[in-house]
Amino acid sequence: MKNPVNNFESSYGLRQKILNDFLKNIIGEKSVEHKEIIARLSSFLIVERDVECFAKLCNDIFVNGYAKATMQYKEKVEEKGYKFTIVNLQSSES
């Protein structure tokens, strides 16, 4: 039986598909606009751990960006005199 890690490491197409699917899940159809950089990134994400670390980086960017945007919105709403309560907003720093 072949080692799946070796298949991953030796298959540029598999790495590119995984990266494409991952980014499409985050940014939807906009991922098509970035297909060239995704293809180039695929050649640098050699082992499965590289992809896992990249996925964590993207997730941290997404979560922290969402948290920051929510806090900015909260401040603007409160400036207008409204009460704004955030329930269970977690950043990746917690």
Tell me the pLDDT tens digit for each residue of 23-82: 898 899 999 999 999 889 888 888 889 888 998 999 899 899 998 999 999 999 999 999
Spatial CB neighbours of 92, under 8 Å, sequence gap ≥ 6: 59, 60, 63, 64
**Rounded Cα gap, residues 59 and 52, in angstroms:** 10
Smallest Cα–Cα separation from 22: which of 10, 34, 11? Answer: 34
Instruction: Parse the chain into domains and list their residue ranges.
Output: 4-63
Q: What angle do CA 36, 37, 42 make, to 5 degrees?
A: 100
Smallest Cα–Cα separation from 50: which of 2, 14, 93, 26? Answer: 14
Q: Is the pLDDT assigned to residue 2 strictly greater than 50?
A: no
Contact criterion met (CB below 8 Å) for 20 and 38: yes
Determine if the pTM surpasses 0.85: no
Greatest mean pLDDT among 2-16, 52-66, 76-90 lies in 52-66
